[in-house]
Structures are given as structure tokens and as C-alpha cells.
Structure 1
Amino acid sequence: MPFAIYALGLMIFSMTTSEFMVAGMMASLSAEFGVSVAAIGYLISSYAAGMIVGGPLLTVGLLKVPRKQAFLALAVVFLAGQTLGALATSYEMMMVARVITGISSAATFGVSLAIGFTLVRPEALGRAASVVLGGLMVATAIGLPAAMVFDQYFGWRASFWAVVVLVLLSGVLGQFAIPSSPKPESVSIRGELAAFRNGNLWAAYATSMLIIGATFAAFSYFSPILTDLTGFGTSMVPLLLGIYGVATVIGNIVTGRLADQYMMPILAIGLVTLTGALVFFGLFAHSTIVAMIAVIVVGLAGVPMNPAMTTRITRVANTGSLVTTVHGSVISLGVVVGSSMGGLTIDAGYGLVSPLWVGALLATLGLLSLFPFSQGMGKGQRAKGEHAGICENKVVDCAEQ
């Protein structure tokens, strides 16, 4: 992988740390702004809502801008939002900051993947996606626990300022590592929009949304579940979430290597495993052993399906900025659906265990959503070679066909 791919991954790591760290400092933010834990959960949802609505609109506005320049401009917007969050003196001010960072983060995901895909051969798209999106996994393994430690020892604002520094560093590396972008006139807005007429693209989007929704219904409330239900001490939670993050990194490495050849098996097996882990956790949430096992399995099988999800998108559509940004927005919709439904069930009086059952339901729906696509692959998509050079689950250079 070119070094620029890793620079892109570092930016994704920085931004995703900002997105996730709220889940690890719910108590501090709740006390700071005088709101409930469920209300802090909505700060996660607001970030994702910014990604859903604003990300694609911002991407369309930047389609005529060279991708490298777009990447750097988005970093500046994110910095503004993150700084506002670090200075927030009210819940409403923090909500605005989360929306701004969410909007710029979504567009950055799409632009980063689009840049990464131009730097590798067709048969390495899955690996490139796994490195870029690997920043997301490392954020759960290192970024989130580090933010929690900063919160415990220096206050939650220190965590926000640390992300500001990371984004600045990522932008500097991107300036030097990312090669010059294509000329703006080489990008066709009409061509980008044409991809959305493909029904299989929307089917792939649906599966991605359900996978992430299932994962985040549980992950968004891991901290209170592990302390209030399972009985772990507050100081143990960063370690447990760090273990979860390490599991996501390991899972991402494995799926990144296999996604180009075994896309559908990864999605099917991953969803079955995710469903089982959440059901198991929901039934035995008071057991420390069960909780630890479930956290690890959710880490291995949830978010690490991202490379397979992204590979599926490139097979049924294209690798343009708008398609990948909308995919990021759909994934963020999953975050909104999962974390919001989890918060609503808690507020409705179903207890802290209820988000785990919400996640199990969404994972089951995600598994069911694969069946129409599997039938379509058998009847028609393989015959076409997926238009992206995919022939019988192997990636080849389309120019040779």
C-alpha cells in the first residue's frame, strides 16, 4: 500500500475517535451539561445525522474540486467543529459542534476512499479499503480508550483538543503524501448520479446500514451496561473497550485480506456471529465472563465487515466520491438508528439491556437482507462480471476482458 493510504487512514482515525469518544465519556458530559445519559447518546446520533444529510451535499459541492484539495478543505471544516466542541459551554452548543464535525467527516470518508482507490490496482480495492477504514478500527482500539483516560485524568475537553491536534497532523501528512488529484473537469456530476439508478446498490446500502445499526445499538451503551449491569469498575471500562478495539483491528485485517474473494461469506458469517453474540450478551449481561466474551466477539464480527461492505459497493456501482460518501452516510444512518433506538428503549423503561436486543433484531434483519442479493448474484450479476472486473469472485483488470 502507498504511504498516502496510511495518511488517509490516520485522518479517518482522528475523525472517528471524535465520533466514538462520546460513548466513553457519557457520565462526564451528562454531569457537565445537566442532561441524561440517553441525551448524551443523542450526541452520537447528531454526529451521524450530520454525516447522513450534510455529507452527500457537501460532496456534490466538492465534485468539481480536485480530491486532494477537497480532502484538505474538509479537514479545516472538521477542525472548526471540533474546536467548537472543545469550547462548548452548553448541550446545544455541543450538538451544533457534533453536526458540523459529522458533515465534514462523512465527506472525508468518501473522498478518502475515492483517493485510495485511484492509488491501487483493481484486485487490491478491498485491501485499500481495509487500510483507510482501518483508522476506524484503530480508533476503537486506541483512540476511544485514550480519550477516556484523558477524560478521567485531565477532563473531557482535553480529549477534544487531542483530536484537534491529530487532525492537524493528518492534514499535514496528507498535504505531502497524497499525489496531485485529477483535474476538476474530469469529474462528471451526472455520471456520479447515474450510479444511483442501480437497485443492487440500494440493496447493498441497506445491508450496510443494518450491520452498523446492530453494532452501535450495543456499542453506544457499552460503558453504562458494563458498569451498571455487569458490575465492572469505571477504571476497567477503558481497558474493556480497548480490548474491543483490538478485536475490531484483528477482524479488519482478516476481512481486508479476504473481502475481494469472499465478500458474501464474510457478510453472512459475520451477521450470524454478531446476532449470536448480542443475544448471548442480552441473556447473561450480569456475567463478567459472558460480557467480556460478547464484547470481543462483537468487536471481531461487527464493524470489521466494513471492507466486505465497501467491496460490495464497488462491485455493484463504482468507486466515485459520491457513491462512497453516500455509503458512509448510510453507515451513519445505521449509527443513528442503532444508538437512537437503544436510547429510546432505555427511556421507555426497558432497562440498559434493551439496546443489546435492539442490536440482535437489526443484525437478524441484516442477515435476511442478504438473500435477495445472493439470488441475484447467482442469476445475473456473475454473468455480467459485475462490470467492475469481478469474474467468479476474482478481481481482474477489466481492460483484459
Structure 2
Amino acid sequence: MPFAVYVLGLMIFSMTTSEFMVAGMMASLSEEFGVSVAAVGYLISAYAAGMIVGGPLLTVGLLKVPRKQAFLALGGVFLVGQTLGALATSYEMMMAARVITGISSAATFGVSLSIGFTLVHPGALGRAASVILGGLMVATAIGLPAAMVFDQYFGWRASFWGVVVFVLLSGVLGQFVIPATPKPESVSIRGELAAFRNGNLWAAYATSMLIIGATFAAFSYFSPILTDLTGFGAAMVPLLLGIYGVATVAGNIVTGRFADRYMMPILIVGLLTLTVALVFFGLFAHSSVVAMIAVIVVGLAGVPMNPAMTTRITRVANTGSLVTTVHGSVISFGVVVGSSLGGLTIDAGYGLASPLWVGAVLGIIGLLSLLPFLRDTNRRQQTKMHEKKVANCVEQ
């Protein structure tokens, strides 16, 4: 992999740390702004909502801007939003900061993947995606626990300023190592939009949304679940989330290596494993052993399906910025669905374990969403076998 691909991953790491770290400092933000834990969970949803709506619109506006310049400009917008969050004095101000960072983050995902795909040969698209999106996994392994430690010892604002530093570093490195790209004059908005007439693309989008929704319904509330239900001390939570993050990195390495060859098996096995883990976690949330195993399994099987999800998108559509950005928005919609439904079930009085059951249900629906694809694949295989038999008969 070219070094520039790793720099793109560093930017994704920085931005995703900002997205995730709210889940690890719910108590601090709840106390700071005088709101409930569920309301802090909506800050995660607000970030994702910015990705859903603003990301594609911003990408369309940048279609004719050289990708390197677009990447750097988006990093600048994110810096503004992250700084606003670090300085926030009210819940509403923090909400606005989360929307701004979410908008710029979504477009950065699309542009980064688009740049990365131009730097490798077609057979390595899955590996390139695993490196770039690996920033997302490392954010859970290192970024989130580090942000929680900063929150405990230096205050939550220090965590926000830390992300500002990393985004700035990513931009500076990007300026020097990302190859200059010409102005994409040939890019047509109509041509980019034509890809969305493909029904298989929307089917792939739906599966991605359900996978991430199932994962984040649980992950968004891991911190209060592990402390209030399982009984772990507050100091143990960063370690447990760090273990979760290490599991996501390990899972991403495996799926990134095999996504180009075993895309669909990864999605099927991953969804099945994720669903079973959430069911067991929901049944035995008070058991520390079960909780630890479930956290690790969710880390291995949830978000690490990203390379397989991305590979599926590139096969049914293309590698354009808009297609990949909308995929990022769909994934973010999964974050909104998962974290919001989890928060709603808590507010409705179903208890802190209810988000785990929300995730299990979304996982089951995700498995069902693969059935049409599997049926079509089986039909195509049967057709090929029939054609081969006919050809053999003709030869005989």
C-alpha cells in the first residue's frame, strides 16, 4: 500500500475518534450540559445525521474540485466544527458542532476512498478500503480509550482538542504525500447519479445500514451497560472498550485480506455471529464473563465487515466519490437508527439492556436482507449449469 493510503486512514481515524468518543464520556457530557444519558446519545445521532444529509450534498458540490484539494478543504471544515465542540458552553452549541463535523466527515470518507482506489490496482480495492477504513477500527482501539482517559484526568474538552491536533496533522501530511490530481472536468453529476438506478446497489446499501445499526445500537450504550448492569468500575470501561477496539482491528485485518475473494461469506458469517453475540449479551448482561466475551465478539464481527460491504458496493456500482459517500451516509444512517432506537427503548423504560435486543433484531433483518442476493446467485448458478449441460449435449 502506498504511504498516502495510510495518511487517508489517519484522517479517518481522527474523525471517527471524534464520532465515537461521545459514547465513552456520556457521564461527563450529561453533567456538563444538564441532560440525560439518552440525550447525550443523540449527539452521536446528530453527527451521523450530518453525515447522512450533508455528506452527499457537499460531495456533489466538490465533484469538479481536484480530489486532493477536496480532501484538504473537508479537513478544514471539520477543524472548525471540532473546535466549536471543544469550546461548547451549551448542549445546543455542542449539537451544532456535531452536525458540522458529521457533514464534513461523510464527504471525507467518500473522497478518501475515491483517492485510495486510484492509487492501487483493481484487485487490491478491498485491501485499500481495509487500510483507509482501518482508521475507523483503530479509533475504537486507541482513539476512544485515549479520549476516555483524557476525559477522566484532564476533562472532556482535552479530548476534543486532541482530535483537533490529529486532524491538523493528517492535513499537513496529506498536503505532502497525496499525489496531485487534475481537475476532474470529465465528471458529470448526471453520470454519477446514473449509478443509483441500480437496484442491487440499494440492496447492498440496505445490508450495510442494518449491519452498522445492529452494532451501534449496542456500542453506543456499552459504557452505561458495563458499569450499571454488569458492574464494572468506571476505570475499567476504557480498558474494555480498548479490547473491543483491538478486536475490530483484528477483524478488519482478516476481512480486508479476504474481502475481494469471499465477500458474501464474510457478510453472512459476520451477521450471524454478531446477532448471536448480542442475544447472549442481552440474556446475561449481569455476567462479567459473558459481557467481556460479547464485547470482543461484537468487535470482531460488527464494524470489521466494512471492507466486504465496500467491496460489494464497488462491484455492483463504481468507485466514484458520490457512490462511496452515499454508502458512508447509509452507514451513518445505520448509526442513527441503532443509537436512536437504543435511546428510545431506554427512555421508554425497557432498561439499559434494551439496546442489545434492538441490535439483535436489526442483525436478524440484516440476514434476511441477504436472501434475495443469495436466491439470485443460486438462480444464476443453475442457469450456467443448465447452459453447460446443453452445450455438452450439443457437442455429443
The TM-score normalised by the length of structure 2 is: 0.96
Task: Show the counterpart of 2:177.
Answer: 177
Task: Show the counterpart of 1:397.
Answer: none
Task: Show the counterpart of 2:151.
Answer: 151
Q: CA deviation at 1:188?
A: 1.8
Identical-residue share of aligned pairs (%): 88
Task: Show the counterpart of 1:306.
Answer: 306
Q: 1:158 to 1:202 in 2, by over 3 A?
A: same
Q: CA deviation at 1:382?
A: 11
How far apart are the structure 2 equivalents of 1:16 and 1:132?
Answer: 12
Task: Show the counterpart of 1:201.
Answer: 201
Q: CA deviation at 1:187?
A: 1.6
The AA in structure 2 aligned to 1:373 is F
Task: Show the counterpart of 1:135.
Answer: 135
Task: Show the counterpart of 2:394.
Answer: none
The AA in structure 2 aligned to 1:145 is P
The AA in structure 2 aligned to 1:62 is L
Q: 1:156 to 1:364 in 2, by over 3 A?
A: same
Q: CA deviation at 1:378?
A: 3.7
Task: Show the counterpart of 1:285.
Answer: 285
- Paired residues in the alignment total 384
Task: Show the counterpart of 1:294.
Answer: 294
How far apart are the structure 2 equivalents of 1:326 and 1:314?
Answer: 12
Task: Show the counterpart of 2:17.
Answer: 17
Q: 1:98 to 1:383 in 2, by over 3 A?
A: farther
How far apart are the structure 1 equivalents of 2:4 and 2:181?
Answer: 12
Task: Show the counterpart of 2:161.
Answer: 161
Task: Show the counterpart of 1:319.
Answer: 319
Q: Deviations 1:81-109 (Å, cap 9, x if unpaired)?
A: 00000000000000000000000000000
The AA in structure 1 aligned to 2:13 is F
The AA in structure 1 aligned to 2:38 is A
Task: Show the counterpart of 1:242.
Answer: 242
Aligned-residue RMSD, C-alpha: 1.2
Q: CA deviation at 1:124?
A: 0.2
Q: CA deviation at 1:380?
A: 4.9
Runs in 1 of length 4+ with deviation above 4 angstroms? 380-384
Q: Unpaired runs of 5+ in structure 2?
A: 385-396
How far apart are the structure 1 equivalents of 2:383 and 2:79?
Answer: 46
Task: Show the counterpart of 1:122.
Answer: 122
Give the alignment of 1:61-76 within 5 angstroms. Answer: 61-76=61-76
Q: Deviations 1:145-173 (Å, cap 9, x if unpaired)?
A: 00000000000000000000000000011
How far apart are the structure 2 equivalents of 1:189 and 1:92?
Answer: 35
Task: Show the counterpart of 1:104.
Answer: 104
Q: CA deviation at 1:381?
A: 9.8
How far apart are the structure 1 equivalents of 2:361 and 2:52?
Answer: 22
Q: CA deviation at 1:181?
A: 1.4
How far apart are the structure 2 equivalents of 1:32 and 1:219?
Answer: 22
Structure with max Cα Rg: 2
Q: Unpaired runs of 5+ in structure 1?
A: 385-401
Q: 1:41 to 1:382 in 2, by over 3 A?
A: farther
Q: CA deviation at 1:319?
A: 0.2
Q: Deviations 1:105-155 (Å, cap 9, x if unpaired)?
A: 000000000000010011000000000000000000000000000000000
Q: CA deviation at 1:383?
A: 9.3
